[in-house]
Structure 1
């Protein structure tokens, strides 16, 4: 099979006259490259339009060989520089997966090709637009997956704590409930009047409320707790209560003092003391375990609702009225672990009367994710992050993400929105986050700007309300 017949098998060349294919053949060189040969390293200059006659070519990151594959091209694919293309280099490595035969036309021939071969030029330009569209879709999807991976890691960590609390409290409650029959036997032998029962109930609910209120205050020091346990143990021993050490710990946990036990003793008498104290401890422990399970379950529910609202999986994909504050808060909930891990001081200024904007909520959530995630990465331990939104005139809302990190050097500030440009280390950033942010904001007819100096970096996102 001659080369014209081979080129005729390229889908892109359907309808291209033979003489134009022959024009390319006459000015090209045919090369055969062994398998697993690096054709281009990352950022090498690309000087050829390459027609893949036979074999397979892989585009990968160049870090872990084929394990980091991005794209593969089989026979009849068109690679390299194209007419009117601004391509100077490729950001990734190009490698042959098996023995490969290429027909290569140097970029110096492209101006003549454009003038001499109209149909071929048209086919190659169409190939370029298809390539740009497919590559843009791929890179955006990769960045979305990277963003989702970061959120998933944080969400898994956030869910782990309340889930562990539920499991731990449920196991403790199960063990605790096994003692209920024995405690019930003791209760059945008590001889209490209605007034005495009311007194016990009063102290029970009073201490439960006091215990819950204490959770928001300052906890006892180890020394204070130890001294109080000793006092309660001595009091119980003096009044002939068995297992005083086992009871003293829970009584301290639920804010009992010697004065409380004196009051109970005065109301119920010596003979009922052990049964009443045991009942109080058992029920307070049960109530506290149930409350712990309830609080942990609420935390899980909050996280699930946040991810549901963040992804908007229960809504359509069209444009709608959006409350920016809700999207920002949902994003912060999912990034909370990362914020807390660096002890970042977070300041939020999101007015309740902030005007709605019109747009695609899933896309805007990706904007907040990238900006906040980048700010957290740039901050030192104990840094400050400030997020604010306010009306900007009558038709716009201005949202600012400000950090007090090291800042962005002035000589690269005009490059940070370029695709694949990143200041992060290898493997820590794709260089696509801010490019996608800019694309999404433009899609909403808005603007995004950056001002940075050491100690203050401010990203401003202006979005229309109409």
Structure 2
């Protein structure tokens, strides 16, 4: 391409430069260097130093970044788009790999020409600064969205594990309950044949209902429980009850002792004891299975409520006055699987009586997720792990401390951890935007984020005003 053709391309195909005087576009065409690439050819690599302004005159640049153990296609800079180094930009290295999308021609203005451009081409410089501002806004929005998706991905993995146990319990106990009821008709026949007074019926019912509501053997040691179960099994066997071991286990669960069963012998004929015992056993098993189904269902409901609260899916995106502890507790619920997997001791020291704070609930939950998840990751593969979360009031502010006893953050990188794209995690495990997003959200709340770290202790503190 001739300089005139390049200038014509800049004038007709680069919308951001439409208001730039032709003489300044001629300067760009004259000072720029053309580079050509065949379709699929690599144009630059992730981590390469960015040394020039780039305008796509033909073809395109297809950008790929590593993410979640694979590669994500970030997008394509097409004909007429501007990328690379821009005036006053702090970007130093490429965030991804670029390949030519079709036969590609790039116009590149070296960094060394920027002072001359800024001094002598004001409209061109202004247009490029606007490009930089738009790029920062768009890219930050995309990275924030990706960070949210990664956070929800981590939570969903833990949520799936947490839901697996109670849902499996519901299915298992429902199946057992169905099998249990299938034996009901035969047991009912035997009970109907018994002729006893209302007083006896009341005694048996009262005993079963009392044990069903108040029976508890959690205080027994394993040896004590075993001895009681053996004694009950012997009594049942002596009194002609079949499946005595199974029934003894159930009666032990509900804190029956031998004297409870002896009270039946004075009220029932010997032939009536087995059907009455089987009826009592059936009632108690039903009670236990229903209780377990209820508890598992309650756990599922708690988890669903937690994820609903975490995402704030039923609320408009406006500030609300809430208890700061609620969001932290919800996040801990959703990260519970990861905490248990890493064998972390959790220490919570929440100051009582803290006033409600005016926050965007969803974004602040993202803050807690990032900080707590980072602390968990820092302790991965270690023993004696402790995660401490403290809250306190400091004048007209509330401070939340998230502390881990991991290896600490090296002193030479502590000033870099809030920079965009900086991460110490392996490729695919972090975007380098987590703490940058956290900082932005806290700034949005007129708050302050600080870190103190030495080997064996890292403390992040989040401070924001109560008003």
- Give the deviation of 1:259 after TM superposition: 3.1
- Where 1:69 maps in the other structure, the secondary structure is strand
Q: 1:63 to 1:348 in 2, by over 3 A?
A: closer
Q: 1:177 to 1:106 in 2, by over 3 A?
A: same
Alignment of 1:18-167 (within 5 A): 18-61=22-65, 67-167=71-171
Which residue is equivalent to 1:4?
7
Deviations 1:250-301 (A, max 9, x none): 3333333333322222332312101110001111111111111111111111
Gaps of 5+ in 2: none
Which residue is equivalent to 1:16?
20
Q: Name which of structure 1's ranges 28-37 and 152-161 shifts more when overlaid on structure 2.
A: 28-37
- Are residues 1:416 and 2:417 paired? yes
TM-score, scaled relative to structure 1? 0.93
Q: 1:219 to 1:458 in 2, by over 3 A?
A: farther
Question: Aligned equivalents of 1:240 and 1:106: distance in 2?
Answer: 98
Deviations 1:324-361 (A, max 9, x none): 01111111111111111222111112233102222211
- Where 1:61 maps in the other structure, the secondary structure is strand
CA contact (8 A) 1:51 1:102 kept: yes
Question: Aligned equivalents of 1:240 and 1:152: distance in 2?
Answer: 53
- Where 1:401 maps in the other structure, the secondary structure is strand
Q: How many residues align?
A: 461
1:186 to 181, 186, 190: 190
Gaps of 5+ in 1: none
Question: Aligned equivalents of 1:43 and 1:254: distance in 2?
Answer: 66
Q: 1:239 to 1:71 in 2, by over 3 A?
A: same
CA contact (8 A) 1:81 1:87 kept: yes
Question: Aligned equivalents of 2:169 and 2:122: distance in 1?
Answer: 70
CA contact (8 A) 2:447 2:464 kept: yes
Question: Aligned equivalents of 1:277 and 1:185: distance in 2?
Answer: 14
- Where 2:451 maps in the other structure, the secondary structure is strand
Which residue is equivalent to 1:389?
391
- Where 2:93 maps in the other structure, the secondary structure is coil
CA contact (8 A) 1:42 1:90 kept: yes
Question: Aligned equivalents of 2:368 and 2:281: distance in 1?
Answer: 48
- Give the deviation of 1:33 after TM superposition: 0.5
Question: Aligned equivalents of 1:321 and 1:146: distance in 2?
Answer: 27
**Superposition CA RMSD, Å:** 2.1
- Give the deviation of 1:230 after TM superposition: 4.0
Deviations 1:380-428 (A, max 9, x none): 34411111111101x1111111112221122221111112222222222
Question: Aligned equivalents of 2:257 and 2:69: distance in 1?
Answer: 68
Q: 1:252 to 1:320 in 2, by over 3 A?
A: closer
CA contact (8 A) 1:170 1:293 kept: yes
Deviations 1:148-206 (A, max 9, x none): 11111111111111111111111111111111111111111111212211221222123
Which residue is equivalent to 1:425?
426
- Where 1:140 maps in the other structure, the secondary structure is helix
Alignment of 1:273-352 (within 5 A): 273-352=273-352
Question: Aligned equivalents of 1:250 and 1:465: distance in 2?
Answer: 54
Q: 1:218 to 1:55 in 2, by over 3 A?
A: farther
Alignment of 1:429-444 (within 5 A): 429-444=430-445
Question: Aligned equivalents of 1:33 and 1:64: distance in 2?
Answer: 29
- Give the deviation of 1:90 after TM superposition: 1.7
- Give the deviation of 1:430 after TM superposition: 1.8
Question: Aligned equivalents of 1:411 and 1:164: distance in 2?
Answer: 49
CA contact (8 A) 1:62 1:93 kept: no
Question: Aligned equivalents of 2:231 and 2:356: distance in 1?
Answer: 60
